[in-house]
């Protein structure tokens, strides 16, 4: 019953919620980012990070440090925390936590299939996969020639199987089809996750609906902008939009016929929650759009911590960590390439 979660949530979820809130207090603050932005070399970054929670993970790295190593170790920390929470969780929280990683699974599948298409070595691709999205038979993906085989050989045993029904065709895999496959899978995943949260009910449903709706709308805008000028027809574009969210269904109809960014802006400015995002961009500029969306997402994720006794905090924590890792990657790349003036272009402060 909505409003009375406080009475029974702590039976199964109290301990893990307290743990995830403890992890949240370890996220890097604006002061940490300011210190990091002033570093001259990657070793300075490693020194600053060893004072934070990433210390034990970066300590043993030998001195010529690469940005990929930093990112890998930070991701390892996130994976360790996730696995710890997952093994302590009971139903339905364990299903919820697994749902959070299906997005990474989809990305890994697409990465391997694309890499195989371009004749890359499977081992090399496996190392680039995100550790949260690994599953057992992932290496077999390299063998598949078209989507039907992909499904039959590998994906039917994974949790992604039900998302595939919409995109099995006998066409061979090529770059365009793979992007469409990725977006179709992600659409099915978001809708499934949304339905699952609605079934859970209560505060979880309310908070997750808001976060997932924002995600769906953001993806709709990104799909629109990325497919301007390509051969993707309007009908195909419509099919890639998720069927929930603030923009559904009227915004999607308008977005489907957009042919340039200013038209997209015109559509989005009609929706009050998204209007401040688009008003920050001057005309014709779309690079800052990503950062503006990330800032909005971080704001909403932080708000979900204001309420207790729901599962949204787990989702929010994972996303905030991923944002932090993106920030660290950007800072490390800027420092490594000596472009410190551009550091603040893409760092989103969480606190």
Partner 1 sequence: MSGAIVIGASSSWARALVKISPYTFSAIGIAISIGVSVLGAAWGIYITGSSLIGAAIKAPRITSKNLISVIFCEAVAIYGVIVAIILQTKLESVPSSQIYEPESLRAGYAIFASGIIVGFANLVCGLCVGIIGSSCALSDAQNSSLFVKILVIEIFGSALGLFGVIVGIIMSAQATWPSKV
Contacts with partner 1 by CB under 8 A lie at: 6-7, 10-11, 14-19, 21-23, 25-26, 308
Comparing CB distances to partner 1, the nearer of 14 and 249 is 14
Per-residue tokens: 71: 């990112």
Nearest distance in Å: CB 121, partner 1: 41
- In whole angstroms, give the CA distance from residue 254 to residue 247: 9
Helix (H) or strand (E) segment spanning residue 253 = helix 250-256
Angstrom distances, CA of residue 39 to CA of 10, 72, 201, 335: 43, 20, 46, 7
Per-residue tokens: 273: 């929650």
Nearest distance in Å: CB 25, partner 1: 5
- In whole angstroms, give the CA distance from residue 28 to residue 26: 6
Comparing CB distances to partner 1, the nearer of 8 and 279 is 8
Nearest distance in Å: CB 7, partner 1: 7
Comparing CB distances to partner 1, the nearer of 13 and 251 is 13
Residue reference for tokens 């749902």: 99
Comparing CB distances to partner 1, the nearer of 6 and 176 is 6
- In whole angstroms, give the CA distance from residue 291 to residue 296: 9
Cβ neighbours around 74 below 10 Å, total: 22
Query: 117 and 100 in contact (C-beta within 8 Å)?
Result: no
Nearest distance in Å: CB 21, partner 1: 5
Comparing CB distances to partner 1, the nearer of 138 and 313 is 313
Comparing CB distances to partner 1, the nearer of 25 and 170 is 25
Residue environment code for 30-47, b if the CB has 16+ CB neighbours within 10 A, otherwise e: eebbebbbebeebeebbe
Nearest distance in Å: CB 50, partner 1: 18
Nearest distance in Å: CB 56, partner 1: 15
- In whole angstroms, give the CA distance from residue 49 to residue 32: 9
Nearest distance in Å: CB 331, partner 1: 25
Comparing CB distances to partner 1, the nearer of 21 and 280 is 21
Comparing CB distances to partner 1, the nearer of 7 and 156 is 7
Comparing CB distances to partner 1, the nearer of 18 and 47 is 18
- In whole angstroms, give the CA distance from residue 15 to residue 13: 6
Nearest distance in Å: CB 270, partner 1: 39
Cβ neighbours around 301 below 10 Å, total: 21
3-class state of residue 135 by DSSP: coil
Cβ neighbours around 264 below 10 Å, total: 21
- In whole angstroms, give the CA distance from residue 9 to residue 276: 36
Q: Of the candidates 21, 22, 28, which has an alpha carbon nearest to the alpha carbon of residue 321?
A: 28
Query: 207 and 310 in contact (C-beta within 8 Å)?
Result: yes
Nearest distance in Å: CB 275, partner 1: 33
């Amino acid at each position: 019953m909505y409003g009375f979660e406080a009475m029974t949530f702590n039976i199964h979820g109290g301990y893990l919620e307290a743990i995830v809130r403890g992890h949240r207090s370890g996220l890097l603050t604006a002061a940490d980012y300011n210190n990091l932005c002033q570093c001259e070399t990657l070793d300075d970054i490693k020194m600053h990070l060893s004072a934070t929670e990433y210390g034990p993970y970066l300590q043993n790295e030998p001195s010529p440090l690469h940005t990929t190593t930093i990112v890998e170790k930070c991701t390892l920390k996130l994976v360790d925390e996730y696995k710890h929470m997952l093994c302590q969780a009971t139903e339905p929280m364990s299903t919820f936590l697994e749902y959070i990683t299906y997005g990474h699974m989809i990305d890994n599948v697409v990465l391997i299939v694309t890499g195989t298409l371009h004749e890359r070595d499977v081992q090399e691709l496996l190392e680039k996969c995100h550790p949260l999205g690994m599953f057992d038979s992932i290496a077999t993906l390299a063998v598949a020639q078209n989507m039907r085989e992909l499904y039959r050989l590998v994906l039917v045993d994974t949790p992604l199987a039900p998302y595939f029904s919409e995109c099995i065709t006998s066409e061979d895999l090529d770059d365009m089809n793979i992007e469409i496959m990725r977006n179709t899978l992600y659409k099915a995943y978001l809708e499934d996750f949304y339905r699952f949260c609605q079934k859970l009910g209560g505060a979880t449903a309310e908070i997750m609906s808001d976060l997932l709706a924002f995600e769906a709308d953001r993806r709709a805008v990104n799909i629109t902008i990325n497919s301007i000028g390509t051969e993707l027809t309007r009908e195909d574009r419509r099919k890639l939009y998720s069927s929930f969210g603030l923009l559904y269904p009227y915004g999607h109809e308008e977005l489907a016929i957009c042919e340039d960014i200013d038209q997209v802006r015109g559509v989005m400015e009609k929706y009050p929650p998204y209007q401040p995002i688009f008003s920050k961009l001057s005309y014709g500029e779309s690079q800052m759009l990503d950062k503006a969306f990330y800032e909005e997402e971080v704001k909403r994720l932080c708000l979900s911590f204001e309420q207790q006794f729901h599962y949204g905090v787990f989702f929010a924590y994972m996303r905030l960590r991923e944002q932090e890792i993106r920030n660290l990657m950007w800072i490390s790349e800027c420092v490594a390439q000596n472009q410190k003036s551009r550091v603040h272009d893409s760092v989103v402060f969480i606190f």
